[in-house]
Structure 1
Amino acid sequence: MTTNNRNYRVWTDDEDDKLVEALLNMTNTGKFKSDNGFRTGYLPHLEACLKEALPESGILGKPHIESRIKTLKRDWAAFYDMLNTSGFGYDTVKHSVTASTDVWNSYIATHKHGGKWKNKTLPRYEDLCVIFGKDRAQGKKAKTVIEVEEEVNMVEEEHQRNEDFDEISHNVGTDSSLQVEETSSVRSKKRKRARQVDPLVRSFSDAVVLFADRLKETSAELSEDIKFELDIKKKTLMMPEELSKMTSLSQLEKFQAIEKIKDDQIRVMTFWSLGEEEREAWIRFLLSS
Protein backbone atom coordinates (compact mmCIF):
# COMPACT_ATOMS: atom_id res chain seq x y z
CA MET A 1 0.00 0.00 0.00
CA THR A 2 1.44 3.40 -0.97
CA THR A 3 0.56 7.09 -0.67
CA ASN A 4 0.82 9.82 -3.29
CA ASN A 5 4.29 10.66 -2.05
CA ARG A 6 6.76 8.43 -3.94
CA ASN A 7 9.23 8.65 -1.04
CA TYR A 8 6.75 7.40 1.57
CA ARG A 9 5.01 4.07 1.87
CA VAL A 10 2.57 2.57 4.35
CA TRP A 11 3.73 -1.03 4.69
CA THR A 12 1.26 -3.86 5.29
CA ASP A 13 1.99 -6.62 7.82
CA ASP A 14 2.52 -9.09 4.98
CA GLU A 15 5.00 -6.77 3.24
CA ASP A 16 6.86 -6.26 6.52
CA ASP A 17 7.03 -10.01 7.06
CA LYS A 18 8.45 -10.61 3.58
CA LEU A 19 11.06 -7.86 4.04
CA VAL A 20 12.17 -9.21 7.44
CA GLU A 21 12.38 -12.74 6.02
CA ALA A 22 14.58 -11.48 3.16
CA LEU A 23 16.79 -9.56 5.63
CA LEU A 24 17.04 -12.59 7.90
CA ASN A 25 18.05 -14.85 5.03
CA MET A 26 20.61 -12.27 3.87
CA THR A 27 22.06 -12.11 7.40
CA ASN A 28 22.22 -15.87 7.96
CA THR A 29 23.91 -16.51 4.62
CA GLY A 30 26.27 -13.52 4.96
CA LYS A 31 25.13 -12.18 1.59
CA PHE A 32 25.38 -8.37 1.41
CA LYS A 33 25.66 -8.23 5.24
CA SER A 34 28.62 -7.30 7.44
CA ASP A 35 29.11 -6.43 11.11
CA ASN A 36 28.93 -2.73 10.26
CA GLY A 37 25.71 -2.94 8.25
CA PHE A 38 24.89 -3.77 4.66
CA ARG A 39 27.24 -4.08 1.70
CA THR A 40 26.93 -2.36 -1.64
CA GLY A 41 24.18 -3.95 -3.74
CA TYR A 42 21.90 -4.97 -0.86
CA LEU A 43 18.99 -2.77 -1.99
CA PRO A 44 18.69 -4.24 -5.54
CA HIS A 45 18.96 -7.72 -3.96
CA LEU A 46 16.11 -7.03 -1.50
CA GLU A 47 14.02 -5.37 -4.22
CA ALA A 48 14.34 -8.52 -6.33
CA CYS A 49 13.37 -10.73 -3.35
CA LEU A 50 10.22 -8.70 -2.65
CA LYS A 51 9.34 -8.50 -6.33
CA GLU A 52 9.39 -12.30 -6.44
CA ALA A 53 7.39 -12.70 -3.20
CA LEU A 54 5.01 -9.76 -3.84
CA PRO A 55 4.95 -9.19 -7.63
CA GLU A 56 2.16 -6.60 -7.51
CA SER A 57 3.53 -4.51 -4.65
CA GLY A 58 5.71 -2.14 -6.69
CA ILE A 59 8.20 -1.90 -3.80
CA LEU A 60 11.49 -0.24 -4.81
CA GLY A 61 14.91 -0.48 -3.17
CA LYS A 62 15.16 3.30 -3.13
CA PRO A 63 13.33 4.89 -1.42
CA HIS A 64 10.87 2.29 -0.06
CA ILE A 65 13.08 -0.52 1.32
CA GLU A 66 15.86 1.85 2.38
CA SER A 67 13.39 3.98 4.37
CA ARG A 68 11.64 0.98 5.91
CA ILE A 69 14.92 -0.56 7.12
CA LYS A 70 15.74 2.73 8.86
CA THR A 71 12.37 2.63 10.64
CA LEU A 72 12.70 -1.04 11.59
CA LYS A 73 16.18 -0.50 13.00
CA ARG A 74 15.08 2.61 14.93
CA ASP A 75 12.06 0.78 16.41
CA TRP A 76 14.14 -2.29 17.27
CA ALA A 77 16.80 -0.12 18.95
CA ALA A 78 14.19 1.64 21.11
CA PHE A 79 12.66 -1.73 22.04
CA TYR A 80 16.08 -3.22 22.74
CA ASP A 81 17.09 -0.27 24.95
CA MET A 82 14.00 -0.66 27.11
CA LEU A 83 14.55 -4.40 27.55
CA ASN A 84 18.11 -3.59 28.70
CA THR A 85 16.81 -1.11 31.27
CA SER A 86 16.12 -2.25 34.82
CA GLY A 87 12.43 -2.89 35.49
CA PHE A 88 11.39 -3.86 31.96
CA GLY A 89 10.44 -7.32 30.78
CA TYR A 90 9.40 -8.99 27.54
CA ASP A 91 6.10 -10.74 26.81
CA THR A 92 7.05 -13.51 24.36
CA VAL A 93 3.41 -14.15 23.45
CA LYS A 94 2.32 -10.58 22.74
CA HIS A 95 5.82 -9.47 21.67
CA SER A 96 5.54 -6.39 23.85
CA VAL A 97 7.47 -4.62 26.60
CA THR A 98 6.17 -5.01 30.17
CA ALA A 99 6.82 -2.82 33.21
CA SER A 100 5.08 -1.34 36.23
CA THR A 101 3.42 2.06 36.02
CA ASP A 102 6.23 3.65 38.05
CA VAL A 103 8.90 2.25 35.72
CA TRP A 104 7.02 3.47 32.65
CA ASN A 105 6.53 6.96 34.09
CA SER A 106 10.20 7.20 35.04
CA TYR A 107 11.36 6.02 31.61
CA ILE A 108 9.02 8.28 29.65
CA ALA A 109 10.21 11.26 31.68
CA THR A 110 13.68 10.89 30.12
CA HIS A 111 12.72 9.19 26.84
CA LYS A 112 9.84 11.16 25.34
CA HIS A 113 9.44 8.74 22.42
CA GLY A 114 9.32 5.67 24.66
CA GLY A 115 5.66 6.10 25.57
CA LYS A 116 4.42 4.75 22.23
CA TRP A 117 5.71 1.27 23.16
CA LYS A 118 3.50 1.07 26.24
CA ASN A 119 0.63 -0.36 24.20
CA LYS A 120 2.47 -1.34 21.01
CA THR A 121 4.01 -4.63 19.90
CA LEU A 122 7.04 -5.53 17.76
CA PRO A 123 6.07 -8.96 16.32
CA ARG A 124 9.42 -9.71 14.65
CA TYR A 125 11.63 -8.53 17.54
CA GLU A 126 13.59 -11.82 17.82
CA ASP A 127 14.34 -11.83 14.08
CA LEU A 128 15.38 -8.16 14.20
CA CYS A 129 17.81 -9.05 17.01
CA VAL A 130 19.55 -11.43 14.61
CA ILE A 131 19.52 -8.87 11.78
CA PHE A 132 20.61 -5.78 13.71
CA GLY A 133 22.12 -7.27 16.89
CA LYS A 134 25.71 -7.17 15.61
CA ASP A 135 25.39 -3.50 14.71
CA ARG A 136 24.92 -2.63 18.37
CA ALA A 137 27.55 -3.04 21.11
CA GLN A 138 26.51 -5.49 23.82
CA GLY A 139 27.06 -4.81 27.51
CA LYS A 140 27.86 -1.16 26.88
CA LYS A 141 25.87 1.99 27.48
CA ALA A 142 22.70 1.85 25.36
CA LYS A 143 22.52 4.39 22.54
CA THR A 144 19.61 6.77 22.14
CA VAL A 145 17.20 6.53 19.23
CA ILE A 146 18.75 9.69 17.76
CA GLU A 147 22.23 8.13 17.95
CA VAL A 148 20.98 5.03 16.18
CA GLU A 149 19.47 7.15 13.38
CA GLU A 150 22.79 8.99 13.02
CA GLU A 151 24.59 5.62 12.93
CA VAL A 152 22.30 4.42 10.11
CA ASN A 153 23.08 7.58 8.12
CA MET A 154 26.83 7.12 8.70
CA VAL A 155 26.70 3.53 7.41
CA GLU A 156 24.87 4.70 4.28
CA GLU A 157 27.47 7.41 3.73
CA GLU A 158 30.21 4.79 4.11
CA HIS A 159 28.52 2.64 1.46
CA GLN A 160 28.47 5.63 -0.89
CA ARG A 161 32.15 6.34 -0.19
CA ASN A 162 32.96 2.70 -0.95
CA GLU A 163 31.20 2.96 -4.32
CA ASP A 164 33.04 6.21 -5.08
CA PHE A 165 36.34 4.65 -3.99
CA ASP A 166 35.82 1.68 -6.33
CA GLU A 167 35.34 4.05 -9.26
CA ILE A 168 38.32 6.22 -8.31
CA SER A 169 40.53 3.14 -7.78
CA HIS A 170 39.67 1.91 -11.27
CA ASN A 171 40.59 5.27 -12.79
CA VAL A 172 43.77 5.59 -10.75
CA GLY A 173 44.82 2.07 -11.68
CA THR A 174 44.33 2.79 -15.39
CA ASP A 175 46.17 6.12 -15.22
CA SER A 176 49.05 4.59 -13.23
CA SER A 177 49.51 1.80 -15.78
CA LEU A 178 49.65 4.30 -18.63
CA GLN A 179 52.09 6.48 -16.72
CA VAL A 180 54.39 3.53 -15.95
CA GLU A 181 54.38 2.32 -19.58
CA GLU A 182 55.01 5.81 -20.90
CA THR A 183 57.76 6.42 -18.33
CA SER A 184 59.51 3.15 -19.26
CA SER A 185 59.58 3.89 -23.00
CA VAL A 186 60.50 7.54 -22.67
CA ARG A 187 63.24 6.91 -20.09
CA SER A 188 65.33 4.88 -22.53
CA LYS A 189 65.32 7.79 -24.97
CA LYS A 190 66.07 10.36 -22.31
CA ARG A 191 69.15 8.52 -21.06
CA LYS A 192 70.99 9.80 -24.16
CA ARG A 193 70.35 13.35 -23.12
CA ALA A 194 70.29 12.90 -19.34
CA ARG A 195 72.16 16.12 -18.73
CA GLN A 196 69.36 18.07 -20.39
CA VAL A 197 66.56 16.44 -18.36
CA ASP A 198 65.11 18.40 -15.49
CA PRO A 199 66.03 16.47 -12.30
CA LEU A 200 62.56 17.23 -10.87
CA VAL A 201 60.85 15.49 -13.82
CA ARG A 202 63.14 12.46 -13.50
CA SER A 203 62.44 12.21 -9.76
CA PHE A 204 58.71 12.38 -10.36
CA SER A 205 58.85 9.59 -12.96
CA ASP A 206 60.84 7.35 -10.62
CA ALA A 207 58.36 8.09 -7.83
CA VAL A 208 55.47 6.95 -10.02
CA VAL A 209 57.19 3.62 -10.67
CA LEU A 210 57.96 3.08 -6.97
CA PHE A 211 54.41 4.02 -6.02
CA ALA A 212 52.94 1.49 -8.50
CA ASP A 213 55.21 -1.29 -7.17
CA ARG A 214 54.37 -0.51 -3.56
CA LEU A 215 50.66 -0.36 -4.39
CA LYS A 216 50.80 -3.90 -5.77
CA GLU A 217 52.59 -5.19 -2.65
CA THR A 218 50.15 -3.46 -0.30
CA SER A 219 47.15 -4.72 -2.24
CA ALA A 220 48.39 -8.31 -1.96
CA GLU A 221 48.89 -7.97 1.81
CA LEU A 222 45.48 -6.40 2.30
CA SER A 223 43.88 -9.07 0.14
CA GLU A 224 44.99 -11.85 2.51
CA ASP A 225 43.81 -9.93 5.58
CA ILE A 226 40.47 -9.19 3.94
CA LYS A 227 39.99 -12.85 2.97
CA PHE A 228 40.58 -13.89 6.59
CA GLU A 229 38.19 -11.24 7.94
CA LEU A 230 35.50 -12.21 5.43
CA ASP A 231 35.91 -15.88 6.35
CA ILE A 232 35.47 -15.08 10.05
CA LYS A 233 32.41 -12.92 9.34
CA LYS A 234 30.90 -15.61 7.12
CA LYS A 235 31.40 -18.28 9.79
CA THR A 236 29.92 -15.95 12.43
CA LEU A 237 26.82 -15.24 10.34
CA MET A 238 26.30 -18.98 9.80
CA MET A 239 26.19 -19.66 13.54
CA PRO A 240 22.48 -18.87 14.20
CA GLU A 241 21.46 -21.50 11.64
CA GLU A 242 23.84 -24.05 13.15
CA LEU A 243 22.66 -23.29 16.69
CA SER A 244 19.03 -23.69 15.61
CA LYS A 245 19.79 -27.41 15.11
CA MET A 246 20.64 -27.78 18.80
CA THR A 247 17.15 -28.60 20.06
CA SER A 248 18.24 -29.07 23.68
CA LEU A 249 19.18 -25.36 23.89
CA SER A 250 16.51 -22.75 24.65
CA GLN A 251 16.16 -19.69 22.42
CA LEU A 252 17.68 -17.55 25.20
CA GLU A 253 20.69 -19.88 25.49
CA LYS A 254 21.21 -19.67 21.73
CA PHE A 255 21.20 -15.85 21.89
CA GLN A 256 23.62 -15.94 24.84
CA ALA A 257 25.92 -18.30 22.94
CA ILE A 258 26.00 -15.99 19.93
CA GLU A 259 26.87 -13.01 22.14
CA LYS A 260 29.74 -14.91 23.79
CA ILE A 261 31.23 -16.07 20.50
CA LYS A 262 30.57 -13.47 17.78
CA ASP A 263 33.25 -10.93 18.77
CA ASP A 264 35.95 -13.50 19.57
CA GLN A 265 37.74 -14.86 16.49
CA ILE A 266 39.30 -17.75 18.42
CA ARG A 267 35.91 -18.90 19.70
CA VAL A 268 34.42 -18.65 16.20
CA MET A 269 37.19 -20.81 14.78
CA THR A 270 36.93 -23.25 17.72
CA PHE A 271 33.18 -23.66 17.17
CA TRP A 272 33.60 -24.64 13.52
CA SER A 273 36.62 -26.85 14.18
CA LEU A 274 34.55 -29.14 16.41
CA GLY A 275 32.31 -31.94 15.17
CA GLU A 276 28.54 -31.47 15.30
CA GLU A 277 28.13 -33.56 18.45
CA GLU A 278 31.00 -31.77 20.20
CA ARG A 279 29.69 -28.27 19.43
CA GLU A 280 26.64 -28.56 21.67
CA ALA A 281 28.74 -29.78 24.62
CA TRP A 282 31.22 -26.94 24.03
CA ILE A 283 28.38 -24.38 23.94
CA ARG A 284 27.09 -25.60 27.29
CA PHE A 285 30.62 -25.42 28.73
CA LEU A 286 30.94 -21.84 27.42
CA LEU A 287 27.60 -20.77 28.90
CA SER A 288 28.50 -22.22 32.29
CA SER A 289 31.83 -20.39 32.49
Structure 2
Amino acid sequence: MESVATSESCVGKFKKADKTRRSWSEREEELLIQALKEASIQGWKSGNGFRPGYLSFLENRMKVALPNTNLRGNPRINSKVHVWKKLYGSLVTILSRSGVGWNDTEKTIEASINIWEALIKADNNARSMRHKRWIYYHDWCEIFGNDRATGEKAEHFTTAVQEVLIMTPEVPNNIGMSVDDLFSVDEGAAESMSQSLTPSSRPTSTANSKGKKRKQVDDDDGAIVEAINNFAIITKDTITDLIKQLATEKEADDEKMRNAQENLLMVMETIHELSEDEKVIVIELLVENPAKLSLFLRLGDSGRLSLARRLLRSS
Protein backbone atom coordinates (compact mmCIF):
# COMPACT_ATOMS: atom_id res chain seq x y z
CA MET A 1 0.00 0.00 0.00
CA GLU A 2 1.29 3.41 -0.88
CA SER A 3 2.08 5.45 2.21
CA VAL A 4 0.42 8.83 2.55
CA ALA A 5 3.91 10.12 3.35
CA THR A 6 4.68 9.82 -0.34
CA SER A 7 1.70 12.05 -1.14
CA GLU A 8 3.49 15.01 0.42
CA SER A 9 5.23 15.40 -2.93
CA CYS A 10 1.89 16.28 -4.50
CA VAL A 11 2.07 19.80 -3.15
CA GLY A 12 3.63 21.86 -5.92
CA LYS A 13 6.24 23.68 -3.93
CA PHE A 14 7.59 20.41 -2.55
CA LYS A 15 8.49 19.04 -5.97
CA LYS A 16 12.19 19.38 -5.25
CA ALA A 17 12.81 17.04 -2.35
CA ASP A 18 14.73 18.30 0.64
CA LYS A 19 17.72 16.00 1.08
CA THR A 20 17.50 16.46 4.84
CA ARG A 21 13.84 15.40 5.00
CA ARG A 22 13.18 12.22 6.93
CA SER A 23 10.89 9.56 5.48
CA TRP A 24 8.09 8.28 7.70
CA SER A 25 7.14 4.62 7.85
CA GLU A 26 3.50 3.52 7.74
CA ARG A 27 3.80 2.40 11.35
CA GLU A 28 5.02 5.83 12.44
CA GLU A 29 2.22 7.56 10.53
CA GLU A 30 -0.41 5.30 12.08
CA LEU A 31 0.97 5.99 15.57
CA LEU A 32 0.93 9.74 14.93
CA ILE A 33 -2.70 9.51 13.75
CA GLN A 34 -3.62 7.76 17.01
CA ALA A 35 -1.66 10.30 19.06
CA LEU A 36 -3.47 13.20 17.35
CA LYS A 37 -6.83 11.58 18.12
CA GLU A 38 -5.77 11.16 21.76
CA ALA A 39 -4.71 14.81 21.86
CA SER A 40 -8.15 15.85 20.61
CA ILE A 41 -9.93 13.69 23.19
CA GLN A 42 -7.73 14.88 26.06
CA GLY A 43 -8.46 18.56 25.45
CA TRP A 44 -5.45 19.70 23.42
CA LYS A 45 -7.74 20.80 20.59
CA SER A 46 -8.56 24.52 20.42
CA GLY A 47 -10.90 26.48 18.18
CA ASN A 48 -8.63 26.37 15.14
CA GLY A 49 -5.93 23.79 15.75
CA PHE A 50 -4.13 22.60 18.84
CA ARG A 51 -3.10 24.40 22.01
CA PRO A 52 0.58 25.21 22.73
CA GLY A 53 2.34 22.18 24.18
CA TYR A 54 0.57 19.58 22.06
CA LEU A 55 3.82 18.76 20.21
CA SER A 56 5.38 17.59 23.47
CA PHE A 57 2.32 15.44 24.07
CA LEU A 58 2.66 13.88 20.60
CA GLU A 59 6.40 13.37 21.04
CA ASN A 60 5.86 11.55 24.34
CA ARG A 61 3.20 9.30 22.80
CA MET A 62 5.56 8.39 19.96
CA LYS A 63 8.35 7.61 22.43
CA VAL A 64 6.08 5.30 24.42
CA ALA A 65 5.15 3.33 21.29
CA LEU A 66 8.63 3.53 19.73
CA PRO A 67 11.24 3.89 22.51
CA ASN A 68 14.14 4.19 20.05
CA THR A 69 12.51 6.74 17.77
CA ASN A 70 14.35 9.93 16.86
CA LEU A 71 11.14 11.80 16.04
CA ARG A 72 10.84 15.07 17.93
CA GLY A 73 8.07 17.62 18.20
CA ASN A 74 10.14 20.12 16.25
CA PRO A 75 10.75 19.94 13.42
CA ARG A 76 9.62 16.44 12.36
CA ILE A 77 6.21 16.00 14.00
CA ASN A 78 5.26 19.64 13.58
CA SER A 79 6.15 19.50 9.87
CA LYS A 80 4.18 16.29 9.37
CA VAL A 81 1.05 17.68 11.03
CA HIS A 82 1.37 20.87 8.96
CA VAL A 83 1.60 18.90 5.69
CA TRP A 84 -1.33 16.67 6.62
CA LYS A 85 -3.49 19.65 7.51
CA LYS A 86 -2.65 21.33 4.21
CA LEU A 87 -3.47 18.17 2.24
CA TYR A 88 -6.72 17.80 4.18
CA GLY A 89 -7.65 21.37 3.27
CA SER A 90 -6.95 20.69 -0.41
CA LEU A 91 -9.07 17.53 -0.31
CA VAL A 92 -12.00 19.28 1.36
CA THR A 93 -11.82 22.06 -1.24
CA ILE A 94 -11.78 19.62 -4.15
CA LEU A 95 -14.54 17.41 -2.71
CA SER A 96 -16.76 20.45 -2.18
CA ARG A 97 -16.81 21.13 -5.93
CA SER A 98 -19.83 20.12 -7.94
CA GLY A 99 -19.34 16.89 -9.87
CA VAL A 100 -16.62 15.55 -7.56
CA GLY A 101 -17.18 12.37 -5.57
CA TRP A 102 -15.35 10.12 -3.13
CA ASN A 103 -14.62 6.41 -3.58
CA ASP A 104 -14.61 5.11 -0.01
CA THR A 105 -13.35 1.69 -1.06
CA GLU A 106 -10.31 2.92 -2.99
CA LYS A 107 -9.91 6.09 -0.89
CA THR A 108 -9.64 8.19 -4.03
CA ILE A 109 -11.26 11.26 -5.56
CA GLU A 110 -13.65 10.58 -8.42
CA ALA A 111 -14.47 13.06 -11.17
CA SER A 112 -14.86 13.18 -14.92
CA ILE A 113 -11.99 14.29 -17.17
CA ASN A 114 -13.69 17.66 -17.75
CA ILE A 115 -14.09 18.24 -14.03
CA TRP A 116 -10.43 17.40 -13.42
CA GLU A 117 -9.34 19.77 -16.15
CA ALA A 118 -11.35 22.54 -14.49
CA LEU A 119 -9.87 21.69 -11.08
CA ILE A 120 -6.31 21.71 -12.43
CA LYS A 121 -6.95 24.99 -14.21
CA ALA A 122 -8.05 26.54 -10.92
CA ASP A 123 -5.22 24.96 -8.91
CA ASN A 124 -2.32 23.18 -10.60
CA ASN A 125 -1.63 21.21 -7.38
CA ALA A 126 -4.80 19.21 -8.11
CA ARG A 127 -3.00 17.51 -11.01
CA SER A 128 -0.91 15.29 -8.72
CA MET A 129 -3.83 14.60 -6.35
CA ARG A 130 -5.88 12.82 -8.98
CA HIS A 131 -4.54 9.27 -8.69
CA LYS A 132 -3.46 9.31 -5.05
CA ARG A 133 -4.97 7.04 -2.41
CA TRP A 134 -5.88 9.14 0.64
CA ILE A 135 -6.02 6.40 3.25
CA TYR A 136 -6.06 8.84 6.17
CA TYR A 137 -8.82 11.14 4.91
CA HIS A 138 -11.43 9.89 7.40
CA ASP A 139 -8.88 10.26 10.20
CA TRP A 140 -8.02 13.79 9.11
CA CYS A 141 -11.74 14.67 9.14
CA GLU A 142 -11.89 13.49 12.74
CA ILE A 143 -8.65 15.25 13.76
CA PHE A 144 -8.80 18.56 11.92
CA GLY A 145 -12.56 18.99 11.45
CA ASN A 146 -13.27 22.63 10.60
CA ASP A 147 -9.76 23.95 11.31
CA ARG A 148 -9.23 24.81 7.66
CA ALA A 149 -12.10 27.31 7.42
CA THR A 150 -10.91 29.54 10.24
CA GLY A 151 -7.40 29.34 8.94
CA GLU A 152 -8.53 30.76 5.63
CA LYS A 153 -10.15 33.72 7.35
CA ALA A 154 -6.88 34.42 9.17
CA GLU A 155 -4.95 34.29 5.90
CA HIS A 156 -7.40 36.70 4.28
CA PHE A 157 -6.99 39.14 7.15
CA THR A 158 -3.18 38.95 6.96
CA THR A 159 -3.33 39.62 3.24
CA ALA A 160 -5.59 42.60 3.86
CA VAL A 161 -3.17 44.07 6.41
CA GLN A 162 -0.26 43.58 4.04
CA GLU A 163 -2.18 45.38 1.30
CA VAL A 164 -3.00 48.22 3.68
CA LEU A 165 0.72 48.70 4.31
CA ILE A 166 1.12 49.71 0.67
CA MET A 167 -0.84 52.85 1.69
CA THR A 168 -2.63 54.93 -0.92
CA PRO A 169 -1.23 56.55 -4.09
CA GLU A 170 -1.37 59.95 -2.36
CA VAL A 171 0.71 58.79 0.64
CA PRO A 172 3.77 56.76 -0.44
CA ASN A 173 5.01 54.21 2.11
CA ASN A 174 8.58 55.37 2.72
CA ILE A 175 8.86 54.25 6.32
CA GLY A 176 9.76 50.59 5.56
CA MET A 177 7.32 49.17 8.09
CA SER A 178 6.25 45.50 7.96
CA VAL A 179 3.47 43.51 9.62
CA ASP A 180 5.93 42.11 12.17
CA ASP A 181 7.12 45.63 12.99
CA LEU A 182 3.55 46.73 13.72
CA PHE A 183 2.63 43.91 16.07
CA SER A 184 5.92 43.28 17.87
CA VAL A 185 6.29 46.71 19.52
CA ASP A 186 5.74 46.75 23.29
CA GLU A 187 3.99 49.58 25.12
CA GLY A 188 7.18 51.32 26.16
CA ALA A 189 8.61 51.21 22.67
CA ALA A 190 5.29 52.38 21.23
CA GLU A 191 5.25 55.39 23.53
CA SER A 192 8.83 56.21 22.61
CA MET A 193 8.06 55.90 18.92
CA SER A 194 5.00 58.10 19.31
CA GLN A 195 7.10 60.80 20.92
CA SER A 196 9.77 60.53 18.25
CA LEU A 197 7.14 60.92 15.52
CA THR A 198 5.81 64.20 16.94
CA PRO A 199 7.28 66.99 14.81
CA SER A 200 7.57 69.45 17.69
CA SER A 201 9.45 66.98 19.91
CA ARG A 202 12.49 66.55 17.67
CA PRO A 203 15.29 68.86 18.94
CA THR A 204 17.44 70.87 16.55
CA SER A 205 21.02 69.65 16.20
CA THR A 206 22.47 73.10 16.98
CA ALA A 207 21.15 76.53 17.74
CA ASN A 208 22.45 77.71 14.37
CA SER A 209 20.95 74.92 12.22
CA LYS A 210 19.83 76.13 8.87
CA GLY A 211 16.14 76.73 8.39
CA LYS A 212 16.14 74.57 5.27
CA LYS A 213 17.44 71.54 7.17
CA ARG A 214 14.90 72.04 9.96
CA LYS A 215 12.10 72.28 7.40
CA GLN A 216 13.22 69.00 5.77
CA VAL A 217 13.20 67.23 9.14
CA ASP A 218 9.72 68.53 9.94
CA ASP A 219 8.47 67.54 6.50
CA ASP A 220 9.83 64.01 6.95
CA ASP A 221 8.19 63.69 10.38
CA GLY A 222 4.93 65.06 9.04
CA ALA A 223 4.93 62.54 6.19
CA ILE A 224 5.42 59.64 8.62
CA VAL A 225 2.64 60.83 10.94
CA GLU A 226 0.31 61.31 7.95
CA ALA A 227 1.16 57.83 6.68
CA ILE A 228 0.37 56.27 10.07
CA ASN A 229 -2.91 58.21 10.31
CA ASN A 230 -3.88 56.99 6.84
CA PHE A 231 -2.93 53.46 7.82
CA ALA A 232 -5.27 53.65 10.84
CA ILE A 233 -8.15 54.92 8.71
CA ILE A 234 -7.64 52.33 5.97
CA THR A 235 -7.27 49.54 8.55
CA LYS A 236 -10.55 50.52 10.22
CA ASP A 237 -12.37 50.50 6.86
CA THR A 238 -10.78 47.19 5.90
CA ILE A 239 -11.77 45.53 9.18
CA THR A 240 -15.33 46.87 8.79
CA ASP A 241 -15.53 45.35 5.30
CA LEU A 242 -14.11 42.06 6.59
CA ILE A 243 -16.72 41.90 9.35
CA LYS A 244 -19.49 42.45 6.81
CA GLN A 245 -17.99 39.81 4.52
CA LEU A 246 -17.69 37.29 7.34
CA ALA A 247 -21.29 37.95 8.40
CA THR A 248 -22.48 37.34 4.83
CA GLU A 249 -20.41 34.18 4.55
CA LYS A 250 -21.76 32.95 7.89
CA GLU A 251 -25.34 33.41 6.70
CA ALA A 252 -24.51 31.45 3.54
CA ASP A 253 -22.79 28.73 5.56
CA ASP A 254 -25.77 28.50 7.94
CA GLU A 255 -28.15 28.15 5.00
CA LYS A 256 -25.92 25.50 3.44
CA MET A 257 -25.80 23.59 6.74
CA ARG A 258 -29.59 23.70 7.11
CA ASN A 259 -30.01 22.27 3.61
CA ALA A 260 -27.42 19.57 4.34
CA GLN A 261 -29.23 18.60 7.55
CA GLU A 262 -32.56 18.37 5.74
CA ASN A 263 -30.95 16.15 3.08
CA LEU A 264 -29.42 14.05 5.84
CA LEU A 265 -32.81 13.42 7.45
CA MET A 266 -34.29 12.33 4.14
CA VAL A 267 -31.35 10.05 3.36
CA MET A 268 -31.45 8.43 6.81
CA GLU A 269 -35.08 7.47 6.21
CA THR A 270 -33.90 5.26 3.32
CA ILE A 271 -31.42 3.29 5.45
CA HIS A 272 -33.50 0.40 6.76
CA GLU A 273 -30.55 -1.58 8.16
CA LEU A 274 -30.30 0.72 11.20
CA SER A 275 -32.66 1.07 14.13
CA GLU A 276 -34.25 4.42 14.96
CA ASP A 277 -31.89 4.91 17.91
CA GLU A 278 -28.87 4.17 15.73
CA LYS A 279 -30.09 6.66 13.13
CA VAL A 280 -30.41 9.37 15.77
CA ILE A 281 -26.87 8.71 17.00
CA VAL A 282 -25.47 8.84 13.45
CA ILE A 283 -27.36 12.07 12.70
CA GLU A 284 -25.98 13.72 15.85
CA LEU A 285 -22.41 12.66 15.01
CA LEU A 286 -22.66 13.88 11.42
CA VAL A 287 -24.18 17.24 12.37
CA GLU A 288 -21.28 17.78 14.78
CA ASN A 289 -18.78 17.11 11.99
CA PRO A 290 -19.69 19.01 8.76
CA ALA A 291 -16.78 17.45 6.84
CA LYS A 292 -18.08 13.94 7.48
CA LEU A 293 -21.64 15.12 6.81
CA SER A 294 -20.58 16.37 3.37
CA LEU A 295 -18.77 13.09 2.70
CA PHE A 296 -21.79 11.04 3.84
CA LEU A 297 -24.14 12.83 1.45
CA ARG A 298 -21.74 12.25 -1.46
CA LEU A 299 -21.45 8.50 -0.91
CA GLY A 300 -23.65 5.84 -2.46
CA ASP A 301 -26.04 3.67 -0.44
CA SER A 302 -23.43 1.07 0.55
CA GLY A 303 -20.87 3.76 1.38
CA ARG A 304 -23.35 5.61 3.61
CA LEU A 305 -24.21 2.46 5.50
CA SER A 306 -20.51 1.63 5.91
CA LEU A 307 -19.71 5.11 7.24
CA ALA A 308 -22.76 5.05 9.55
CA ARG A 309 -21.68 1.75 11.10
CA ARG A 310 -18.15 3.05 11.49
CA LEU A 311 -19.46 6.10 13.34
CA LEU A 312 -21.56 3.89 15.61
CA ARG A 313 -18.55 1.75 16.48
CA SER A 314 -16.44 4.79 17.36
CA SER A 315 -19.17 6.50 19.41
Question: What TM-score comes out, normalization by structure 2 length?
Answer: 0.45
TM-score scaled by length of structure 1: 0.48
